[in-house]
Structure 1
């Protein structure tokens, strides 16, 4: 008996990562709209706008084949944005 591991092809992995970044972009857009409706501070809105732009950059990185780097940037960027928002009193 031989065991073969079948994972995602590079193309499939790239598409999955692009989908994750797109979903994160949608979530940030919804949160940004909610923040605008609540009359939040400009600083908080700017941080969510930065996260929105970050998601778009990750999608572009994924399109160019830099999916692992893109996901690392996405994760680190969101941690920084949410941490900055918390630290500045947004939550």
Structure 2
């Protein structure tokens, strides 16, 4: 299956979105380990754990063909997690 418009096929788009979520999951895992080693607050570590779980949920959504919804959830979730992290640091 190839796209006539020069874009990605649905299968390629789904794989790309799964890869993006996988990279985000790996990045959150690294940050979570660094936060644990730094002795950060439990709330902060919990936020990164939530982002880690969110990435896994997006990968599962992408596997089931819900890639656009998954990317919307991923972006919204990460914005909320990073906003909450910033808010916790400034308190």
Pairs aligned (count): 87
Over residues 24-70 of structure 1, what are the superposed CA-to-partner deviations in whole Å (9 max), with x where a residue is unaligned?
00000000000000000000000000000000000000000000000
1:5 Cα deviation (Å)?
2.2
3-state SS in 2 of match to 1:47: helix
What is the TM-score of this pair, normalised by structure 1? 0.93
Match of 1:7 in 2: 7
Mind listing any 5+ residue stretches in structure 1 that lack a counterpart? none
Post-superposition, which runs of at least 4 consecutive aligned residues in structure 1 deviate over 4 A? none
Give 1 or 2 for the bigger CA radius of gyration. Answer: 1
Mind listing any 5+ residue stretches in structure 2 that lack a counterpart? none
What is the TM-score of this pair, normalised by structure 2? 0.93
3-state SS in 1 of match to 2:89: coil
Match of 2:87 in 1: 87
- 1:61 equivalenced with 2:66 (yes/no): no
